[in-house]
Amino acid sequence: MIEIKGRTAPVIYIKIKEKGRFEDLLTEVRKKLSTNLFKGSLVFIENPEVLTPQERKILQEEINKLTKGVVERGKPQKRESRLLIIRKNLRAGQRVEHRGDVLILGDVNRDAEVIAGGNIIVFGKLRGIAKAGLIGDEDAVIVAMVMEPQLLQIGKKKAIPSESDERSPGYPEVAKIENGQIILEAIEGAERWQKLLS
């Protein structure tokens, strides 16, 4: 009924392949997410349109109990949420554009650029430019194992790190909009993933 992707990162995707009985779906979600492996993960839900608003609310509440929480997708992304996976480092001058979500399995070096209509996840060092939610989704996020960007943009909001913010604190972070500004916060429980990069 559901498929979980991203088992080796602090960000996982739950794809609802078919609706079926909602109680069966909830049971399957509880069973698959009850391990400590997912406790600090952020969760993206693919294909939520098959659920009613009330069912979506119940599902999100259940996932929030088991993980770091659910990241909502903006309505403009409903048909543009396919995941693009890049399995290499991006060098200076290289640029990736995609209307959905982008997962980089490598580093984004200085003067490289990633532009996404949805979310951006960098399973490595983000030292270049990352622009997420560029089709009007200010609920999009940017996640990196090492967050040292030249520029972050989510929707129309931009943030250029000051010199004091240029160095990563040493743990994975998520950038999101809160109270009209882009903020960075640690991904709870994600420190264990950082060890995989060292």
* Three-class DSSP category at 60: helix
Q: CA end-to-end span of the chain, whole Å?
A: 36
Average pLDDT, the chain: 80
Residue type present at position 178: E
* Residue 116: per-residue pLDDT: 94
Query: pLDDT at residue 168 above 90?
Result: no
Domains belonging to the chain, first-starting first, are 2-71 (no CATH), 77-197 (2.160.20.70)
Q: What angle do CA 104, 108, 113 make, to 5 degrees?
A: 95
pLDDT digits (tens, 9 = 90+) for 77-111: 443 458 899 999 999 999 999 988 999 999 999 99
- Percent of the chain scoring above 70 in pLDDT: 77
Per-residue pLDDT at 193:
47
Strand partners, 69: 42
What's CA 175's distance to the chain center, in Å? 9
